[in-house]
Structure 1
Amino acid sequence: MIRLARPGDLPAVEMLVAEAYRPWADLIGVRPKPMDDDYTARVAAGQVHLLEEEGIAGLIVLVPEDGVLLVDNVAVAPARHGRGLGRRLLAFAEDQARTAGLGGLRLYTNALMKPNIALYERLGYEITERRRSGPRDVVFMAKRLAG
């Protein structure tokens, strides 16, 4: 089940993000931006969706933009990796974009997060831009929705 996060979910949301991104912080040498996001504001804005499967197994942060849905963050509990939960969350994002009448999705990630980039490409996302942002090498990706 995927549902909107509530204020009472904040400790679990923050713990999940910290656990999911800790290995990436070690790899890229800086804290990934999702680790420092304001989840109180995100939850209040109705942007955080939780995948519940024997507790909170993953989350996705979705931000409507002009004509597209920004997938601002996808995080899966490390103990739950390899079960297709990230794919389920991204399919949910596509459904949300279609329901909102948006023509596509976009996201960005660090260039060193190669397994994530490969997953996004398998799901139909294309790289649209690469840009240095301080110590980060950012890869921007987008997916058009048929329809």
Structure 2
Amino acid sequence: MHPHPRIAILADRQAIEEIVRHAYSPYISRIGRQPGPMLDDYEVLISEGRVYVVELEGAIQGLLVLIPEQDAMLLDNVAVAPSAKGTGIGRSLLEYAEYSARAAGYRVIRLYTHETMTENIALYSRIGYAETHRAEENGLKRVFMAKHLA
């Protein structure tokens, strides 16, 4: 069982940005530029209460960015430290995202990922997300997916 995510504080920013850098850097060559999460302003997201982190043994090992929208909760980012890959932290963060969406009264959670991140698309499909459409935003070719929550 993993620790419950907590809301991030500004003191967590450096660790969050490091995890994002490690998680998304491998995709730069595939996409031809930095993925969207590497361009986000984490100081603003943390200040707005949008970022959640999971700590193990005193170190942040994973993060989740949730953005409430009018008709759905946007799962904007989920990333795990390289040292925590395969531990189930990512899965527990995805479950927490769904729990948070339900608790906030949403019946749908949505996300998007780059079309070349095929392993992510496959993972999200396996856990109940369905592709809704594809579009180019900010020069990035994205696959949009949604999951209806019970």
Give the TM-score category using the shorter length.
over 0.9
Q: Deviations over 1:41-78 (max 9, x none)?
A: 10000000001123111100000111311000111112
**2:33 counterpart of 1:30:** yes
Alignment counterpart, residue 63 of structure 2, candidates 47, 59, 64 = 59
Count of residue pairs the alignment pairs up: 146
The answer as to whether partners of 1:110 and 1:136 remain within 8 angstroms in 2 is: yes
Q: Deviations over 1:121-140 (max 9, x none)?
A: 11100000011336422100
Deviation (angstroms), 1:87 = 1.1
Q: Secondary structure at the match of 2:34?
A: coil
1:6-25 equivalence runs, <5 A: 6-25=9-28
- Unaligned 5+ segments in structure 2 are none
Aligned twin of 1:47: 50
Q: Deviations over 1:1-57 (max 9, x none)?
A: 210100111111111111111101122111001101010110000000001123111
- Percent identity of equivalent pairs: 48
RMSD across aligned positions (CA): 1.2
- Unaligned 5+ segments in structure 1 are none
Q: Deviations over 1:82-125 (max 9, x none)?
A: 22221111100011011111111000000111111111011100
Q: Which runs of 4+ in 1 moved over 3 A?
A: none
- Cα separation, 2, equivalents of 1:42 and 1:88: 21
